[in-house]
């Protein structure tokens, strides 16, 4: 494969490639609001046809469809390319452009950026990867490895129906040697940061209302003076919640919560030691506007806490009157939104039963648990996997030594590929940078910088990765 | 005083009297939104002039003005008539009429009602009382007692600047023999229920944010995965709150909270015994949609709990993401709205220092207490006071035997007249019915019913009360 020829082609056609990113951005695909999903799926299917897939299909599920594409490179190796075509909503205040216009504007300090919903999460990379494939073919070269495209439309809803697709295509998917998720790995200073795993997540609400309880107001908030002789679901919930953690809120007191939590492996500890050389906690704290970590931890101890602790986090809580000033009511219900992050080797199916058992044991049978999304488990790929080594090689070809994180604290449904039933090594990557996912003015850097790379290098890195996958897998 | 002549006059002029109620309703006076306050004060001043006050004045305070009126009946007795000319806002959904149109519509089972903001709380009664005074004078009779009108414009904001007025007029006000608040005392079945006292109240917010704490996110909510290494103000607040009550949320664990709480007096116990004969807890429960009282209390035990317990009530609590579905954030702050109701002989100035001390003692120095309104104390008038007996006599004249509550669980700033510096007996009353104060479709019954009396009887009862005050005070 003549890579310099392909790289030159990418440079010469970069404006057309930018236009392709703009095209998919301009087709909104907001899964939470069910906007444009079908239209965007059709567009992605057309893309798969255009690069020469021998089979493309919109595969129905109980939710949004998965777009399937099979590219036959006559290779004896096969790569699953996982993609998502849905995005978050864009109704937050603060957007400086129409989030679906695909505008390219100057953003300090990067220069030209695509500023749009889905720019970096992840319609930008989806199209950039396809641009890379098209460039290979335009240069009369062959994509060096068979590809199975799996583009889902419910990532932002927790990929709840992806397992249906996987079950249906299990046999086919098992033929693959690994799974690649086209993404961008550079931080805003240009450092390449790879993550080999993610935490799992379960998101649920606890609710206590007077109707379920048999005490307190059952249907509406009543005058606050009635607290003297009527029970308060809000106080009751606070008492229940308080049994779940230590006084500092940092250790979970639910029986068996930490069961199966694995300490960092030897391989992980070695990676952590390397990270420590470049890890700058002050930058991270500044970005989050956090003054101190839990227990005033620093350095590798803070990192270990971050990556290897499961969490029981209150995302939101509300009850009664929450407007300005005073209104005296005895609220009839209280709701708490909680997410649990799971680390290896916790079992996703055990979490809610343990919480139920805890509530019952402490006498809070009346509190309802409502799962909001089907939870999923953690995922983890060893740094020794060839698919990981292939990506590291690509970064080095471009002059970057990646910082390799054995795990990240965030969650993504990679376990669906990485663990049962497929058990495939899973990695994401790409040499570029973007930011503000789930926030206003989401961006993907287009312009080439000294450290932060632009769209052309991102596409070239995908070409390089495909090459290394074909050699090393 | 020829009362039958006056009563006839009222019957004959009832349509004009209704129009007068509509007039004051049509002048909005929403203290929380600062709408129409000054205009309504001017209107009330004009009313005081029209009945022949020798002095009327709009008395400025640091907040909304008090409308003062002095009526000289050449009596050797003087009554303070306490009134409020402000109302709650009317922005709740559910209004079936324009809340400021003064519409008279049929409401089941009462017939014609004035449905409007302020209809019963308490611009309706304010104007009905003045109609009564005007009717006496129209019949060439004299109002039988000197009157000092005190109409305040901040009752719905906790009467926060009324003490300024009282201080200024202390000498004058001390000349009075008692204080009367024109109101309606019938419940929806026509039973007359008098209350001889109110609880005091303090309303405040507890807030914990990362900035004050030094731990947790300080300025905005951050990604929920950070809970692993960043503290949660929400969990911390829950732990703090949980130290304040027993597990059932019904007993307050703040040191000294119950200090000075007086048990029911012998007089109170006798009144309670009488109430028990007519008290129907099932009606009250049904109205509030409450299945059971605290600890499954019934009858007089429930009543005692209701009237003689101070409360620590959560009016509202919120933190983080409270919209539909899932969003994973670690909230940077949590706010709790709390009201404390004070019973005799608790001291209002001791409550917040005790809560501060409790939080500090349990290690929660970082939690901020923000008083939202200046609190005020309880008020209580003995059933033996002549002003109370005068009103009871009036009810009996109309054929009603009142149910007399030694205290009510709600709060009103009556202590400003009833306790230091004036120490005057304070009573409210009026033979009529209204409802839905602070709620949509607030109403005052206009039409005369078999049990529930209308506007004409309400005005007549005020005439009767003035007569009895003049005889008995």
Write the pLDDT tens digit of every residue in A72-125: 999 999 999 999 999 999 988 889 999 999 999 999 999 999 999 999 999 999
Top residue of A249, A258, A287 to mutate, by most chain B CBs within 10 Å, is: A249
pLDDT of residue A264: 95
Asked if B318's CB is within 8 angstroms of A337's CB, the reply is no
Query: Which residues in chain A have their CB less than 8 angstroms from residue B290's CB?
Result: 210, 216-218, 222, 226, 230
Q: What is the distance between the alpha carbons of residues B60 and B43, in angstroms, rounded to a whole number?
A: 16
Top residue of B210, B251, B326, B334 to mutate, by most chain A CBs within 10 Å, is: B326
pLDDT of residue B158: 83
Query: Which residues in chain A have their CB less than 8 angstroms from residue B297's CB?
Result: 229
Query: Which tokens sit at B1?
Result: 């005083």
Residue of A nearest to B408 (CA): A225
pLDDT in tens, A237-264: 999 999 999 999 999 999 999 999 999 9
Which of B220, B294, B438 lies nearest to residue A231, judging by beta carbons? B294
Q: Where are the domains of chain A?
A: 3-198+379-472, 200-261+310-376
pLDDT of residue B12: 98
Classify residue A211 as exposed, middle or buried by CB count within 10 Å of its CB (0-12, 13-18, 19+).
Answer: middle
Classify residue B76 as exposed, middle or buried by CB count within 10 Å of its CB (0-12, 13-18, 19+).
Answer: exposed
Region of residue B393 (left: phi > 0; alpha: psi -120 to 50; beta: else): alpha
Asked if A313's CB is within 8 angstroms of B317's CB, the reply is no
Query: Which residues in chain B have their CB less than 8 angstroms from residue A329's CB?
Result: 315-316
Q: What is the DSSP letter of B199?
A: B
pLDDT in tens, A380-395: 999 999 999 999 999 9
Superfamily of domain A3-198+379-472: Zn peptidases (3.40.630.10)
Q: φ and ψ at B453, to 5 degrees?
A: -85, 155
Which residues, in sequence order, are CB contacts of B26 under 8 Å at separation 6+?
A: B100, B101, B102
pLDDT in tens, B27-65: 999 998 999 999 999 999 999 999 999 999 999 999 999
Map residue A207 onto helix, strand or coil: strand
Region of residue A159 (left: phi > 0; alpha: psi -120 to 50; beta: else): left
The residues with which A373 forms a beta bridge, in sequence order, are A203
Region of residue B399 (left: phi > 0; alpha: psi -120 to 50; beta: else): left
Beta strand pairing status for A403-405 and A193-195? parallel
Q: What is the distance between the alpha carbons of residues B232 and B215, in angstroms, rounded to a whole number?
A: 8
Q: What is the distance between the alpha carbons of residues A286 and A270, in angstroms, rounded to a whole number?
A: 27
pLDDT of residue A280: 86
Domain with residues A200-261+310-376, CATH architecture: 2-Layer Sandwich (3.30)
Asked if A331's CB is within 8 angstroms of B288's CB, the reply is no
Instruction: With cut-offs at 50, 70 and 90, classify the pLDDT of residue B460.
Output: very high
CB B85 within 8 A of CB B153: yes
CB B391 within 8 A of CB B464: no
Taking the CA of residue A205 and the nearest CA in chain B, the distance in Å comes to 9
Specify the residue for token string 């969650």. A411
**For chain A, what's the residue count?**
473
Short-list B295, B110, B234, CA closest to B184: B110
CB A58 within 8 A of CB A46: no
Query: Which residues in chain A have their CB less than 8 angstroms from residue B248's CB?
Result: 231, 235-236, 239
Which residues, in sequence order, are CB contacts of B182 under 8 Å at separation 6+?
A: B81, B83, B122, B125, B126, B128, B129, B428, B429, B430, B462
pLDDT of residue A396: 98
Q: Give chain B's mean pLDDT.
A: 96
Count CB atoms within 10 A of the CB of residue A191: 17
Topology classification of domain B200-261+310-371: Alpha-Beta Plaits (3.30.70)
Q: What is the DSSP letter of B225?
A: G
ipTM confidence: 0.89
Asked if B409's CB is within 8 angstroms of A289's CB, the reply is no
Q: What is the distance between the alpha carbons of residues B35 and B49, in angstroms, rounded to a whole number?
A: 24
Asked if B235's CB is within 8 angstroms of A245's CB, the reply is yes
Q: What is the DSSP letter of A368?
A: E
Which of A225, A229, A289 lies nearest to residue B219, judging by beta carbons? A289
pLDDT in tens, A148-158: 999 999 998 88
Q: What is the distance between the alpha carbons of residues A231 and A332, in angstroms, rounded to a whole number?
A: 9
Asked if A234's CB is within 8 angstroms of B341's CB, the reply is no
Which of A247, A250, A314 lies nearest to residue B320, judging by beta carbons? A314
Top residue of B246, B293, B315, B342 to mutate, by most chain A CBs within 10 Å, is: B315
In the predicted model, residues of chain A with pLDDT beneath 50 are none
Q: Residue A288 CA to chain centroid, in angstroms?
A: 18
Which of B203, B236, B320 lies nearest to residue A317, judging by beta carbons? B320
Map residue B404 onto helix, strand or coil: strand
Map residue B221 onto helix, strand or coil: coil
Specify the residue for token string 């070695």. A270
pLDDT in tens, B88-142: 999 888 899 999 999 999 999 999 999 999 999 999 999 999 999 999 999 999 9
Residue of A nearest to B210 (CA): A290
CB A46 within 8 A of CB A113: no
Topology classification of domain B3-198+378-472: Aminopeptidase (3.40.630)
């Amino acid at each position: 494969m003549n890579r310099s020829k392909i790289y030159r082609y990418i440079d010469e056609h970069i404006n057309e490639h930018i236009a392709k990113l703009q095209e998919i951005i301009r087709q909104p695909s907001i899964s939470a609001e069910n906007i444009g999903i079908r239209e965007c799926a059709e567009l992605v299917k057309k893309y798969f046809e255009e690069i020469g897939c021998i089979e493309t299909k919109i595969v129905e599920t109980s939710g949004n469809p998965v777009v399937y594409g099979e590219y036959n490179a006559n290779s004896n190796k096969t790569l699953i390319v996982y993609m998502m075509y849905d995005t978050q909503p864009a109704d937050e205040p603060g957007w400086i452009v129409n989030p679906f216009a695909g505008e390219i504007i100057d953003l300090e300090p990067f220069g030209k950026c695509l500023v749009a919903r889905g720019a970096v999460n992840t319609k930008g990379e989806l199209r950039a990867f396809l641009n890379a494939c098209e460039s290979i073919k335009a240069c009369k070269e062959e994509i060096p490895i068979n590809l199975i495209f799996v583009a889902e439309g419910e990532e932002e809803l927790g990929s709840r129906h992806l397992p249906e697709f996987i079950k249906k295509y299990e046999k086919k998917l098992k033929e693959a040697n690994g799974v690649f998720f086209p993404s961008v790995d550079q931080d805003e200073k240009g450092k390449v940061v790879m993550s080999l795993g993610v935490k799992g997540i379960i998101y649920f609400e606890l609710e206590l209302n007077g109707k379920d309880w048999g005490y307190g107001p059952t249907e509406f908030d009543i005058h606050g003076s009635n607290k003297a002789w009527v029970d308060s679901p809000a106080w009751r919930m606070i008492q229940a919640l308080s049994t779940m953690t230590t006084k500092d809120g940092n250790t979970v007191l639910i029986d068996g919560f930490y069961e199966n939590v694995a300490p960092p492996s030897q391989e992980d500890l070695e990676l952590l030691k390397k990270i420590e050389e470049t890890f700058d906690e002050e930058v991270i704290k500044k970005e989050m506007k956090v003054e101190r970590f839990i227990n005033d931890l620093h350095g590798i101890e803070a990192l270990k806490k971050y990556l290897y602790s499961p969490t029981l986090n209150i995302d939101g809580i509300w009850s009664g009157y929450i407007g300005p000033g005073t209104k005296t009511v005895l609220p009839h219900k209280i709701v708490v939104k909680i997410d649990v992050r799971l680390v290896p080797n916790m079992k996703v199916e055990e979490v809610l039963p343990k919480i139920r058992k805890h509530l019952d044991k402490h006498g809070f049978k009346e509190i309802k648990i409502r799962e909001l999304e089907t939870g999923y488990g953690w995922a983890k790929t060893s740094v020794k996997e060839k698919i990981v080594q292939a990506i590291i090689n690509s970064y080095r070809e471009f002059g970057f030594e990646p910082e390799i994180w054995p795990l990240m604290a965030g969650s993504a449904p990679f376990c669906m590929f990485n663990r049962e039933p497929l058990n495939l090594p899973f990695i994401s990557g790409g040499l570029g940078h973007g930011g503000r996912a789930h926030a206003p003015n989401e961006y993907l850097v287009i312009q080439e910088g000294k450290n932060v790379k632009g769209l052309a290098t991102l596409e070239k890195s995908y070409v390089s990765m495909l090459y290394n996958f074909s050699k090393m897998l």
